[in-house]
């Protein structure tokens, strides 16, 4: 498949074997979703063929396609054969005058329903929905009546329904909280068919996949093991190839010296043989990898005072529902707080309550019901919102937008920051309204680099980042010497950065003084 002059991959011949679970890896723009669409049949390849099993579960990306249907029915539609039989059976039973042919057809349909476990379909679908945190009171609702994050989980249940022979999942952990992600990991580890999954969650890939199909060098290379094992193997192979390339280039230089020295002399046959040898060696040029790593580092203009934040009786409700009870806490400079909770529990509400009117956070329009968040001496807040696109003005270039945050910054400094985040030379003039989700996130990081805050408040910063960018962010946050408040559904990111946990849910905020692993052990003791 190619788009214009850009080749995504060519002459790919590979087999995804039964019982193996494959992670499909590669940076943003490498062709992962395109390859997945070719596998599902949604796109035709420009060359070659794809052979699929009869029953394939696919995670649908169109959240609105099933708005007219009940939630429970949407899940059962994951088995098209069963759903078609159930619909036809119901139509026949509604007929007042049933013919003999109708009776015969009903017998055939009942057989299809039985073969596809249709008599337990609703209870099987309900188990999947419960595991993905869709409560029973929503099962009978229309899809149009539930929220976007809930729709994604229903469509995930649809893909998993009925134990298909193959599962093709494109970003299944998007919009899932950590508990739902852990449930999905356990489910997929029990799955007996062939799984192909795209994910930017490193821990999820390492926990679930047995093999990694990596899109790079304009082809697909399969490695044994999860994401981390693939990176190690790929690095070793690349190092060996680069060493061989260096030896080849040295040999070419020696041959060229010989040719230059004797081309006008009597040793023409030797010169000709060496020219052929140069051509042979040059044909083995090392293919370029498409991996690009951003350079993320959060510097501070100056440190804050020792006491970064004092929270006194902070409270927020919506109607009769308490989201944040009167909450009191003291945060010292350098603490890194991971904020956990199910979707809709109030994590974003807590963050917005803290930074409303805070120094450096901009005019975040948010009012709390009671209490106060008192920020400490010299605090400067860098805020990464859940939807950074809403904070980026359209109708201008990314260079001009970035310059508005520091008109004194020189062209070289701004270009340098954009280059760090993988915006090449001409891309700095790209319109802000033409940016992808990943580009929006990387541009917003550039704004934070200019600001140089000593307190970072991040609300799900990894949503549109590829694995290379998430790993770079992880290292940067570990090295950051200021104070951090982090909402994320990325297991590794919260485990490797957080020194303290706030668990939001059920109208309360639990303040746990310890890291994520310790918090999980504490939860296990309570069960």
- Residue 507 DSSP class: T
Supply 290's token pair: 């498409």
Domains 2-226 and 307-526 share a fold: yes
Strands 6-7 and 2-3: antiparallel
389: helix, strand or coil:
helix
Cα–Cα dist 217/19, whole Å: 27
Cα–Cα dist 402/370, whole Å: 36
Cα–Cα dist 94/326, whole Å: 57
Cα–Cα dist 312/122, whole Å: 48
Supply the pTM of this predicted model.
Answer: 0.78
15: helix, strand or coil:
coil
Domain range list for the chain: 2-226, 230-282, 307-526
Homologous superfamily of 2-226:
P-loop containing nucleotide triphosphate hydrolases (3.40.50.300)
Q: pLDDT for 332-346, tens place per residue? A: 999 999 999 988 889
Supply 42's token pair: 């949604």
Per-residue DSSP letters for 116-163? TTGGGHHHHHHHHHHHTT--GGGTTSBGGGS-HHHHHHHHHHHHHTT-
Number of continuous H segments (helices) and E segments (strands) in the chain: 17, 17
Residue 210 half-sphere exposure toward CB, CA atoms < 13 A: 14
Per-residue DSSP letters for 35-70? HHHHHHTSS--SS------S-EEE----TTTTTTSB
CATH 3.50.50.60 at 307-526, yes or no:
no
Supply 403's token pair: 């310059």
Q: Which of 442, 408, 434, 412 is nearest to 425 (CA)?
A: 412
200: helix, strand or coil:
coil
Cα–Cα dist 215/10, whole Å: 11
CB–CB of 184/10 below 8 Å?
no
Neighbours of 287 (CB within 10 A): 10
Question: How do the pLDDT tens digits run along the chain, 527 residues long?
Answer: 988 888 888 889 999 999 999 999 988 778 898 999 999 888 999 999 999 988 899 987 777 889 999 999 999 999 989 999 999 999 998 888 888 998 999 999 999 999 999 999 999 999 999 988 899 999 999 999 998 778 888 998 999 998 889 999 988 888 788 888 888 899 899 998 999 999 989 999 999 999 999 998 888 989 999 999 998 888 887 777 777 777 777 877 877 887 787 776 666 667 677 677 666 655 555 566 667 789 999 999 999 999 999 999 999 998 888 889 999 999 999 999 999 998 888 999 999 999 988 898 766 568 889 999 999 999 999 999 999 999 999 999 999 999 999 989 999 999 999 999 999 888 899 999 989 888 999 999 999 999 999 999 999 999 888 888 999 999 999 999 999 999 999 999 999 999 999 999 988 999 999 999 999 999 988 87
Cα–Cα dist 495/490, whole Å: 9
Q: What angle do CA 188, 194, 198 make, to 5 degrees?
A: 65
Supply 448's token pair: 């934070």
Q: Which of 226, 217, 278, 194 is nearest to 21 (CA)?
A: 194
Neighbours of 96 (CB within 10 A): 4
Beta strands in 199-320 (DSSP E): 211-216, 219-224, 307-318
Q: Which of 423, 31, 33 is nearest to 217 (CA)?
A: 31
Supply 152's token pair: 């994604």
Cα–Cα dist 235/229, whole Å: 10
């Amino acid at each position: 498949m190619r788009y214009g002059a850009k080749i995504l991959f060519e002459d790919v011949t590979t087999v995804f074997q039964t019982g193996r679970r494959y992670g499909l890896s590669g940076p943003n723009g490498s062709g992962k979703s395109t390859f997945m669409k070719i596998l599902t049949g949604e796109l035709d390849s420009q060359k070659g063929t794809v052979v699929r099993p009869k029953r394939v579960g696919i995670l649908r990306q169109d959240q609105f396609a099933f708005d007219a249907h009940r939630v429970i029915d949407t899940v059962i539609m994951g088995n098209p054969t069963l759903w078609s039989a159930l619909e036809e059976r119901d139509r026949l039973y509604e007929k007042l005058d049933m013919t003999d042919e109708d009776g015969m057809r009903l017998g055939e349909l009942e057989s299809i329903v039985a073969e596809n476990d249709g008599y337990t379909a609703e209870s099987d679908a309900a188990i999947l929905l419960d595991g993905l945190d869709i409560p029973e009171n929503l099962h009978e609702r229309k899809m149009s009546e539930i929220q976007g994050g809930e729709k994604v989980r229903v469509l995930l249940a649809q893909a998993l329904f009925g134990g298909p022979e193959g599962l093709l999942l494109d970003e299944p952990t998007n919009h899932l909280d950590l508990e739902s992600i852990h449930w999905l990991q356990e489910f997929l580890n029990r799955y007996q068919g062939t799984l192909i999954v795209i994910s930017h969650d490193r821990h999820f890939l390492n926990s679930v996949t047995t093999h990694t199909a990596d899109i790079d060098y304009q082809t697909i290379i399969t490695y044994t093991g999860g994401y981390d094992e693939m990176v190690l193997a790929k690095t070793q192979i690349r190092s060996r190839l680069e060493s061989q390339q260096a030896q080849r280039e040295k040999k070419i230089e020696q041959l060229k010296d010989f040719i230059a020295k004797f081309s006008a002399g009597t040793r023409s046959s030797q010169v000709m043989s060496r020219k052929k040898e140069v051509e042979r060696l040059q044909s083995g040029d090392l293919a370029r990898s498409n991996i690009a790593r951003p350079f993320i580092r959060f510097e501070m203009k100056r440190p804050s005072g020792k006491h970064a934040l004092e929270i006194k009786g902070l409270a927020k409700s919506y109607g009769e529902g308490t989201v944040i009870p009167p909450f009191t806490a003291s945060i010292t400079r350098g603490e890194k707080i991971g904020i956990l909770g199910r979707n809709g529990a109030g994590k974003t509400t807590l963050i917005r309550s803290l930074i409303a009117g805070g120094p450096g956070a901009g005019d975040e329009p948010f009012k709390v019901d009671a209490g106060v968040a008192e920020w400490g001496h010299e605090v400067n807040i860098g805020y990464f919102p859940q939807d950074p696109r809403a904070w980026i003005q359209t109708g201008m270039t990314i260079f001009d937008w970035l310059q508005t945050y520091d008109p004194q910054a020189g062209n070289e400094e701004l270009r340098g920051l954009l280059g760090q985040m993988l915006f090449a030379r001409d891309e700095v003039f790209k319109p802000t309204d033409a940016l992808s989700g990943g580009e929006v996130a990387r541009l917003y990081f550039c704004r934070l680099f200019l600001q140089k805050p000593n307190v970072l408040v991040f609300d799900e910063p990894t949503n549109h980042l590829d694995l290379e960018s998430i790993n770079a962010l992880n290292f940067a946050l570990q090295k950051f010497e200021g104070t951090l408040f982090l909402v994320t559904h990325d297991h590794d990111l919260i485990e490797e950065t957080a020194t303290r946990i706030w668990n939001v849910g059920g109208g309360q905020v639990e303040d746990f003084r310890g890291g994520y692993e310790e918090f999980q052990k504490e939860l296990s003791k309570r069960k």
